[in-house]
Chains A and B, each alone.
Chain A
Amino acid sequence: EVQLVESGGDLVQPGGSLRLSCAASGFTFSGYSMNWVRQAPGKGPEWISYISSSGVSKHYADSVKGRFTISRDNAKNSLLLEMSSLRADDTAMYYCARGASAAGFEWFDPWGQGTLVTVSS
């Protein structure tokens, strides 16, 4: 069974930093791209970052570019998201999601259960 388990969410002050992790199991992690998607309370999902299966290619949404860094360790089947200069509008549930693609178009399946990040003083 494919499993994605996020951790690292916490209450952090504005301007602070946080590191999220996603542990993958049940599939060949190194064969899939991975993504981080967040969902603010009462809002729809927002894609924030993509990393290719090898880790070479990375992309970010404008809302987090320059503040967040995605990485992966294929030997440890783990996905990471380093977040800095956090703002109140970064408050959300953060999901890791496996990428699936064909003809260059990517969708997200499955999603983990999420880890909650709250940015507040």
Chain B
Amino acid sequence: QSVLTQPPSVSGAPGQRVTISCTGSSSNIGAGSDVHWYQQLPGTVPKLLIYRNSNRPSGVPDRFSGSKSGTSASLVISGLQAEDEADYYCQSYDSSLTGFVFGDGTKVTVL
């Protein structure tokens, strides 16, 4: 059980908007630690999707967006596409554990 809680799965039809939450605590997100998001397509290596809460690396489509508020963060996929079917992980720093932590991941299914 990770210190960052994500829903196990979310789904949506092509073109729909889906939101993945990442809920932490006062020792990580609530303490001001940035949240980063990774996408892991089936059989591949995790790839950075969003860094520092809301920034997209070069090459990441603008249908992916991130935000942070209080002890939680969210990843939004606007205009869901078939190729977005993947596992998504949030990551932050936890001051109590003095280390980096990942969420357990959310599987996105495109209906």
Contacts and interface: CB of A to CB of B under 8 A. Distances in A.
A112 B45 contact: yes
Contact of B45 (A44, A103, A114): A114
15 contacts: A35-B100, A45-B89, A45-B102, A47-B101, A60-B99, A61-B97, A62-B97, A103-B52, A108-B38, A108-B46, A109-B48, A109-B51, A111-B45, A111-B46, A111-B47
Interface string B50-64: 011000010000000
B99 A44 contact: no
Given A106-B93, A109-B57, A47 B45 contact: no
A107 interface: yes
B101 A44 contact: no
Contacts of A114: 45
A107 B48 contact: yes
Interface residues of B, number: 26
B33 interface: yes
A45 B98 contact: no
Interface residues of A, number: 26
Contacts of A43: 104
B52 A45 contact: no
B46 A47 contact: no
Interface of B: 2, 33-34, 36, 38, 45-48, 51-52, 57, 87, 89, 91-93, 97-105
Interface SS majority for chain A = strand
B2 A44 contact: yes
A103 B48 CA distance: 18
A45 B90 CA distance: 10
A39 B93 CA distance: 18
A98 B87 CA distance: 21
A59 B34 contact: no
A44 B105 contact: yes
B89 A50 contact: no
Interface in A63-121: 95, 100, 102-103, 105-114
A34 to B, nearest CB: 13
